[in-house]
Amino acid sequence: MKTVSKLFNLHTHSYTNQENILELVNQYPWEFDEKIPLYSIGIHPWYIDESRLDSDLQLINEKLSLSNCLALGECGLDKRIEIPMEIQEKVFKAQILLAEKHQKPLVLHCVAAFQEIIQIKKEQKVTVPMIIHGFSKNEQTAKQLLDNGFYLSFGKYLLRNPELKSVFQSVPNNRLFLETDTIEESLEEVYALAANYKSIEIEEIKSIIQTNFEKVFRMKMDDRPITHNL
């Protein structure tokens, strides 16, 4: 088995600048930090502000053209907030167009709107990879998403909800990612539990995630830009 030197964090809000971790740091256009070397950028449904929508989308468009902007996100739909779904869908579709234009994957936030996300993927004929981050639902929902071409990323809920074990085990190795999002626990802890649930060694789960990263993001794990000194 090949030795993999780095772990990949699909989604985090904290840049920790660790040598052994490649982090896809979530950025918002209205508070963009130039010092973060690898990032995704997008408009989270919670923070939609129509008064700055045009300028937000313009900045996202600019950053997506850069090699160190690996994905658009997080973006998506959330039925448990007050912002009307009509507005959420408009903003989501506008971001899908940008992701398609630049051929960058989408990192998705989805709460109680999986059917809508699947439908939009079909209607918009999305060709770029779409990754549901922080997946926490049941096996049936997971299967439906997988059947429609989505990737699933696990982190916080995998650590905190033992019932997710069987769901995680049901996800094919070539369709999963791991992340920390906003949790205090380390990415190493997420990898360790993932390996345990899959009944494999840590090196194998590292290799699985590396292979998925290189397929989805179309770059080698070691082809990262030079880290800035903070």
Annotated binding residues for a divalent metal cation: 74, 109, 133, 181
CA 170/CA 193 separation, integer angstroms: 15
114 phi, psi to nearest 5 deg:
-65, -40
Residue 172's closest CA among 151, 144, 141? 151
Residue 8's closest CA among 200, 226, 197, 223? 223
For the annotated binding site, the residues are 74, 109, 133, 181
165 phi, psi to nearest 5 deg:
-55, -50
Strand partners, 204: none
Which tokens in the block code for residue 13? 């809000």
